[in-house]
């Protein structure tokens, strides 16, 4: 079949139009692909740039400093300190998983032996050579540091002196403060959650075991003729025993205004405690240098006449963690109480 000229022209025009449409569509597709490719590349570059900037920001943050307020005013400290000295406060560092660069030591008081640290000792009554050699990038201290000591430490590294209102509060407040200083707030929150559960469980068990029987804490002063009685307001034992764990203090302890008071041997029977926890002022119960003082107390007719002694309710404990109200020390006290009173 043959087409006439008009028909052939129509066909050619139709084919030409179709060719143009295909070309346009192909061009649009190529353009879209190019735009998508460019957009993807640009977005990728933007994301890479953003990630790089964020990474740089984190690195800058980790290696930077910040301003905090301590007892003496404002102090600039590292955001992420790596080498930390915590004078009298090593307990909290260890609880947070940080090994201090030195451990404080006092010739008369000793050190916090229960922490079992490998850090070199720093005699706080002597020169600061050991502290200087440790090269700390942050020093944290409690109320022991007066203005002169603070300035001396500040020449070695940024020094944070804990405010008195925090030191006089619960150990949990000190833990949170130190955790914030060293960038371990999440870890502190977890520790405190576990601690509260331990307190609740132990309180319930102690109540079931001894009820309202009274508990006193005393300290045998080595080489002296009297003892110390630790009051209900004593931050080392009063807070955890009587406030947190709900143990009953003897009347004499409950009425004490002072944290600690001397009590003569003749007054011990007036204490009238059902249970007596006792620690030494220095050394241990087996230290040869303490033997004379320990034997003098234990063999005293007055001591033997005390009701708690007659009942066998006298408990000798380790002084280094009973003489501090720090976080790990309190956990060790709880373990002692469970071992001694949950019979």
CA distances from 275 to 62, 64, 231, 278 (A): 51, 53, 15, 10
Give the separation between CA 250 and CA 179, rounded to whole angstroms: 36
- Model pLDDT, residue 70: 97
What's the N-to-C CA distance of the chain in angstroms? 117
- Residue ranges of domains in the chain: 66-183, 198-341
Amino acid 104: pLDDT: 94
Fold match between 66-183 and 198-341? yes
Per-residue pLDDT tens, the chain, 343 aa: give them: 333 334 334 434 443 344 433 343 344 444 444 443 444 444 444 444 444 433 333 333 566 999 999 999 999 999 999 999 999 999 999 999 999 999 999 988 889 999 999 999 999 999 999 999 999 999 999 998 999 999 999 999 999 999 999 998 899 999 999 999 999 999 999 999 999 999 999 999 999 999 999 999 999 999 988 899 999 999 899 999 999 999 999 999 999 999 999 999 999 999 999 999 999 998 899 999 999 999 999 999 999 999 999 999 999 999 999 999 999 999 999 999 999 999 7
Q: Can you count the helices (H) and strands (E) in the chain?
A: 15, 12
Res 110: pLDDT: 85
Q: For 66-183, CATH number? A: 3.40.50.1980
- 124, two tokens: 């706080």
pLDDT confidence of residue 13: 44
At 76, list the tokens: 């600039």
- Evaluate whether 119 touches 102 at the Cβ level (below 8 Å): yes
Dihedrals φ, ψ of 311, to 5°? -85, -5
Which CATH superfamily is 198-341 part of?
Nitrogenase molybdenum iron protein domain (3.40.50.1980)
- Whole-number pLDDT of residue 62: 60
């Amino acid at each position: 079949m043959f087409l006439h000229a008009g028909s052939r022209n129509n066909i050619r025009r139709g084919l030409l139009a179709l060719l143009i449409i295909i070309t346009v569509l192909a061009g649009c597709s190529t353009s879209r692909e190019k735009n998508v490719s460019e957009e993807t590349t640009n977005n990728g570059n933007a994301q890479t740039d953003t990630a790089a900037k964020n990474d740089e920001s984190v690195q800058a943050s980790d290696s930077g400093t910040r301003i905090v307020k301590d007892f003496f005013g404002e102090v600039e400290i590292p955001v992420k300190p790596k080498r930390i000295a915590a004078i009298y406060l090593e307990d909290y560092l260890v609880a947070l998983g940080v090994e201090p660069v030195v451990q404080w030591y006092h010739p008369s008081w000793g050190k916090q032996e229960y922490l079992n640290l490998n850090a070199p000792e720093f005699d706080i009554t002597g020169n600061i050579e050991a502290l200087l050699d440790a090269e700390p990038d942050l020093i944290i201290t409690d109320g022991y540091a007066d203005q002169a000591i603070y300035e001396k430490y500040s020449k070695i590294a940024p020094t944070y002196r804990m405010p008195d209102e925090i030191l006089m509060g619960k150990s949990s407040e000190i833990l949170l403060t130190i955790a914030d200083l060293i960038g371990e707030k999440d870890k502190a929150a977890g520790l405190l959650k576990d601690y509260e559960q331990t307190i609740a469980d132990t309180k319930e068990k102690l109540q079931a075991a001894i009820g309202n029987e009274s508990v006193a804490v005393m300290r045998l002063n080595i080489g002296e003729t009297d003892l110390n009685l630790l009051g209900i307001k004593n931050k080392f034992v009063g807070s955890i025993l009587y406030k947190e764990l709900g143990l009953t203090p003897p009347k004499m302890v409950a009425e004490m205004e002072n944290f600690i008071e001397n009590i003569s041997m003749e007054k011990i029977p007036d204490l009238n405690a059902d249970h007596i926890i006792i620690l030494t002022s220095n050394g241990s119960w087996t230290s040869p240098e303490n033997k004379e003082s320990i034997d003098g107390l234990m063999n005293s007719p007055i001591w033997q006449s005390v009701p708690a002694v007659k009942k066998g309710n006298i408990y000798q404990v380790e002084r280094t963690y009973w003489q501090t109200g720090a976080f790990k020390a309190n956990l060790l006290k709880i373990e002692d109480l469970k071992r001694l009173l949950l019979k």
